Amino acid sequence: MAVQQQINKFIQGIGASPGIIIGKAYLIERSKVRLAQKRIHQHQVEEEVKRFFKAIQESRNQLTEIKEKILDPEVRRHSFILDVHLMILDDQMLIQDTVDSIRKKKVNAEWALDLTLEKLDMAFKAIDDEYLRERRSDLHYVSQRIFRNLLGKKHDDITRIKGKVIVVAHDLSPADTLQMNLKHVAGFITDIGGKVSHTAILSRSLGIPAVVGLEVATSLINGGDLLIIDGETGEVVINPTEEVSHSFLERKRRIRSMEREVLKYASLAAETRDGVRVRLQANIEMVEEISSVKIHGGEGIGLFRTEILYLNREDLPSEEEHFQTYRRLAEDISPASATIRTLDIGGDKFLPNYSKGNEMNPAMGLRAIRFSIKEADIFKVQLKGILRASAYGKLRILLPMISGIEEIRQTRAILEEVKKGLIKERIPFDRGIKIGAMIEIPSASDIADLLAREVDFFSIGTNDLIQYALAVDRINEHVSYLYEPLHPAVLRIIRWVVQSAHQAGIPVAICGEMAAEPAYAIVLLGLGLDEFSMNPVSIPKVKKVLRMSRFEETRSLVEELFLFSTASEIESRVRKWMAERFPDDFIQSRTEELTT
Ligand code: PEP
Ligand code: MG
């Protein structure tokens, strides 16, 4: 239905993937399918059950087809979400409960499925867990597909988008996003979703600007409207005047030139003005990203996430696959080093045949090192692959989600066994390979002094550390205002971890997102971190601020920060410090410009 044309209408959402873009709107009408609720006779029951199974099978075929058609490796990385959807289609509770309703209540399949969904929805609501809420939206995407198949309705053909458009939708399921020809998508905007919704994550990793959580986008925007979106500030303008377009484009030009300017720092050393040298490294998941690490001046890999090797498949990666991947990593990054983190499965990613995704509180469940120690045979395959590759370059092993000393000792015992096997087989490996612990659970940070005697290095994972220390789910938009990297508690934890590491003579790195924000990097420098690891693109801007600062000044700043008692006081002190020293690097949003 056409809506009244809006001129120069500003709407505000959540910036989900940075970039300013002007383009025509492509509206995806995803109105809820209307369900006919019918009672059926006994003799129709089995026919109805059959119809339901047919719709399930069709849904399965469609999702499998979408998955198979994804050729772009960057997009493919995200297709595990489709596996989650395929698993939902196999969910016995969903299927059995619906079939039971058809048989016992004598209702049509649509009605029966709706009743099952209502029940599951109630259960999800009662649990109030963000991880499960995500599963709930996945459940809804899948059910919409089943409903459409039951009704014989066509799915929006979004494979045929032409030109370069800004996709406007109430919500986009991962299947929607993954099947689009992304070459034609200049941006995404949605009514719902937060910074970590599927659309947001995918857009960020593809570098496509996106604004989510706009609430009214689909009701105000007509297909073909001209839009400006600012994926950083979350601003969207419908049919902007020339003057407004001009000011956005001007802002875009300034950001571009800043980015180009900052790239000059990529090849320079990460050294402060008073001669303190730190290591700026990169977080990556695929060996192919190493070229970007080099362009952006990364001095090695501080975090190589290995989950991707396990996802998107029915079987487990072989020792040879591990070996080949890590060997390429070691060789391509040489002479620098790479830190390989062992499997960090669980939480929001799970293995189809192992963790069933049915934990009530997966963030605190059988994940990461806990899973590896329990499934030692799987763990040994990975460790053997890493050790074999260590003969081809400099590798370190990093253990995720360490909560106590026993996990280190158990891992060392498993590692020793694998090493012995290799020695017996006369396979070369680095016998002095360094073992580090991720510090991301408060119990680990509390005993940092004891842990420091057991490992060769620490890597602080602030993404999780903040979530566990502040009891703030890292992917829940409702509590995101409480997710404060500069909370006094977080600063105290980091200070203690650094002190403990240095007292024991081991280096301490940070590999959480916090390191990628220049203002936070300054604080981390003052706190004494030795290594910073972040997404490759952020390296030059962090290098720039480190090179333009004096270590002694950042130390004094940090000392001052410990006098404050709230995160907002600390945050404003740090922002002021940064604004005084880097006035040109703070580009305000257009709205801020208008109001200041
Ligand atoms: C972290 O928790 O900070 C981290 C780097 O690990 P991940 O984001 O993979 O959990
Ligand atoms: Mg983590």
Give the tens place of pLDDT for each residue, 360-389: 788 888 899 999 999 999 999 999 999 999
Strand 14-17 with 210-212, pairing: antiparallel
Cα–Cα distance measured from residue 125 to residue 118, given in angstroms and rounded to the nearest whole number: 10
What is the Rg, in whole angstroms, of the alpha carbon atoms belonging to the chain? 26
Torsion over CA: 314, 315, 316, 321 (sign): negative
Q: Give yes or no for residue 485 having a pLDDT over 80.
A: yes
Of 517 and 76, the structure prediction assigns the larger pLDDT to 517
CA of 200 to the centre of ligand 1 (A): 18
DSSP string, 384-405: HHHHHHGGGSEEEEEETT--SH
CB atoms under 10 Å from CB of 66, counted, come to 19
Q: Mean pLDDT over all residues of the chain?
A: 87
- Going by pLDDT thresholds of 50, 70 and 90, the confidence category of residue 596 is very low
Burial state string for 5-40 with b = 16 or more CB within 10 A and e = fewer than 16: eeeeeebebbbbbebbbbbebbbbebeeeeeeeeeb
Look at residue 17 in the predicted model and tell me its pLDDT.
Answer: 87
CA of 513 to the centre of ligand 1 (A): 8
Residue 511 a catalytic site member = yes
Q: How many residues does the chain have?
A: 596
Over the stretch 496-543, which tens digit does the pLDDT of each residue have? 999 999 999 999 999 998 999 999 999 999 999 999 999 888 899 999
Q: Which amino acid is at 586?
A: F
Ligand nearest to the CA of 511: 1
Look at residue 384 in the predicted model and tell me its pLDDT.
Answer: 98
CA-wise closest residue to 529 among 551, 550, 547 = 551
Cα–Cα distance measured from residue 594 to residue 592, given in angstroms and rounded to the nearest whole number: 5
Query: Residue 86 in contact with residue 141, Cβ under 8 Å?
Result: no
Q: For residue 514, give the ligand 1 atom closest to its CA.
A: 3
Q: What is the mean pLDDT of residues 177-189?
A: 83
CA distances for 102 relative to 40, 42, 48, 65, 389, angstroms = 9, 10, 7, 29, 56
Cα–Cα distance measured from residue 212 to residue 236, given in angstroms and rounded to the nearest whole number: 10
CA of 431 to the centre of ligand 1 (A): 27
CA distances for 137 relative to 114, 144, 435, angstroms = 15, 11, 39
Of 245-249, 393-397, 417-421, least confident by mean pLDDT is 245-249
Strand 20-28 with 226-230, pairing: antiparallel
Q: What is the mean pLDDT of residues 126-139?
A: 65
Look at residue 117 in the predicted model and tell me its pLDDT.
Answer: 86
CA-wise closest residue to 280 among 539, 41, 70 = 539
Token digits for 525? 């420098």
CA distances for 441 relative to 112, 337, 364, 403, 463, angstroms = 43, 26, 10, 6, 10
Token digits for 81? 């979400």
Q: What is the mean pLDDT of residues 320-328?
A: 97
φ, ψ of residue 532 in degrees (nearest 5): -125, 130
Q: Lay out the sheet containing 165-169: strands in order across.
A: 9-12, 235-238, 226-230, 20-28, 165-169, 185-190, 210-212, 14-17
Pick the residue whose CA is nearest to atom 4 on ligand 1: 461
Residue list, CB under 5 A from ion ligand 2 = 440, 461, 464
Query: Residue 488 in contact with residue 566, Cβ under 8 Å?
Result: yes
Q: For residue 511, give the ligand 1 atom closest to its CA.
A: 5
Q: For residue 464, give the ligand 1 atom closest to its CA.
A: 2
Ligand nearest to the CA of 305: 1
Q: Give yes or no for residue 129 having a pLDDT over 80.
A: no
Torsion over CA: 378, 383, 385, 388 (sign): negative
DSSP string, 142-162: HHHHHHHHHTTPPPP-GGG--
CA of 440 to the centre of ligand 2 (A): 6
Token digits for 161? 């988008």
Look at residue 346 in the predicted model and tell me its pLDDT.
Answer: 75
Cα–Cα distance measured from residue 524 to residue 169, given in angstroms and rounded to the nearest whole number: 40
Over the stretch 331-369, which tens digit does the pLDDT of each residue have? 999 999 999 999 998 765 666 666 555 677 888 888 999
Cα–Cα distance measured from residue 522 to residue 67, given in angstroms and rounded to the nearest whole number: 43
For residue 373, what are the contacts with CB-CB under 8 A and spacing of at least 6?
379, 407, 410, 411, 414
DSSP string, 488-529: HHHHHHHHHHHHHHHHTT--EEE-SGGGGSHHHHHHHHHHT-
Cα–Cα distance measured from residue 253 to residue 250, given in angstroms and rounded to the nearest whole number: 5
Q: Which of 78, 85, 198, 296 is catalytic?
A: 198
